[in-house]
Copies of this chain bind each other. A is one copy, B any other.
Amino acid sequence: MADPIPAPVFRNRSLLDAAQGRVPARPPVWIMRQAGRYLADYRRVRALFPNFLDFCRSPEHVAEVTIQPVDQIGVDAAILFSDILVLLPPMGLQVEFQEKRGPVIANPLRDDAVIAALPEGDLNSELAYVFEGIRLTKRALGDRVPLIGFAGGPFTVASYMVEGGSSKELSKLKALLFSRPEVFAVLMRKLASVTSAYLREQARQGADVITIMDSWAGYLGPEEYRLHVLPHTRAVIQAVKAEFPNLPVVHYANGAPHLLPHFATLGADVLGLDWRADMAAALKAYPKQVFQGNLDPCALYGSPAQIAEKTRALKSLVGARPHVFNLGHGILPDIDPAHARAFVDAVHEAN
């Protein structure tokens, strides 16, 4: 099916150009978690909501914080403020965000019969607030920069559903994978179908780029990833591409340079690498692939001059190839916004 909405003409289309393999007018940069706690204006809005999910469910505030880093840091794209766990309530799991512990799921998946009974397919009616946030953000952004929509990769979302929250080892999810792979596969298939419907609707409502955040895929070895996760993530990308063949899809995983040979077969336009990945080796091994990243988020603890130096080293490594500059993981909450700007400015400066 062809893309039903004519592609918007952006004043700054450097991200779209790079993601589609064209050399952009200027190298594009955005920052994972750029709408986040390091910005005072974000913290002001965040403080209005005792409950984090209520914040995600308020489209006006979502649009406001989504646009803040475009105005304040000068990034080349907005990414919708939301959370990968918004899919959990429509699937029947209660999630709460606690200040110190992060997300806590009241009814984690601990029973094969519960997994078999999970809903699948289009659960978008319960996610209307996300789509309203996209429409409001697009209206406010106008033609300035593209908007990135996103969802978690099925493995990463499954990890929260099974572990019941953040986890050091993902040992419950991996126990399921190793001991009852057929039940694990049911969970992954359902998540892939819900995620596909969710991302397609994000694109229909105006998302110009889609990012799949499979943050914890790196907990798996190459064989387990290839056999048990890759087919489901690929199915999500194929579902998006079937309806929106020209919409760029970015795939990101943290701590997963060992999975790069498999990520390269996902069908994503851009592969986001964390700072562990040897970017020079990746560029050499995959001469046609567009990459995203990979400055160490902790490099922003350095001085602006130190940040500029590291950014220039990355730029010189990438050379003339289309590339999406970013940190290798989300910006940390205690980073000085001036240091985030130093990174963005160094990407943008003429060589």
Contacts and interface: CB of A to CB of B under 8 A. Distances in A.
A238 interface: no
Nearest to A221: B275
Given A255-B255, A257-B257, A174 B278 contact: no
Contact of A278 (B255, B258, B298): B258
Given A306-B179, A332-B171, A221 B301 contact: no
Contacts of A275: 221
A303 B258 contact: no
A162 interface: no
Given A258-B277, A276-B258, A169 B221 contact: no
A97 to B, nearest CB: 16
Q: Which of A275, A294, A303 has the most CB of B within 10 A?
A: A275
A273 to B, nearest CB: 10
A171 B301 contact: yes
A309 to B, nearest CB: 11
Contacts of A179: 301-303, 306
Given A224-B296, A296-B221, A175 B301 contact: yes
A103 interface: no
A303 B175 CA distance: 10
Contacts of A303: 179
B255 A296 contact: no
A49 interface: no
A178 B299 CA distance: 6
A298 B178 contact: yes
Nearest to A259: B276
A178 B302 contact: yes
Interface in A238-277: 255, 257-258, 275-277
> How many monomers of this chain does the complex have?
2
Nearest to A225: B276
Interface in A146-179: 169-171, 174-175, 177-179
Contact of A178 (B170, B218, B306): B306
A222 interface: yes
A52 to B, nearest CB: 18
A82 B275 CA distance: 33
Nearest to A173: B298
Interface string A201-244: 00000000000000000101110100000000000000000000
B296 A174 contact: yes
A160 to B, nearest CB: 15
A263 B258 CA distance: 16
Interface string A271-299: 00001111000000000000000101111
Contacts of A277: 221, 258
A220 B275 CA distance: 8
Given A179-B303, A179-B306, A255-B255, 5 more contacts: A169-B297, A169-B332, A171-B297, A221-B276, A257-B257
Interface of A: 169-171, 174-175, 177-179, 218, 220-222, 224, 255, 257-258, 275-278, 294, 296-299, 301-303, 306, 328, 332, 334
16 contacts: A169-B297, A171-B297, A171-B334, A175-B298, A178-B298, A178-B299, A178-B301, A179-B303, A218-B255, A221-B275, A221-B294, A224-B296, A255-B255, A257-B257, A258-B258, A258-B278
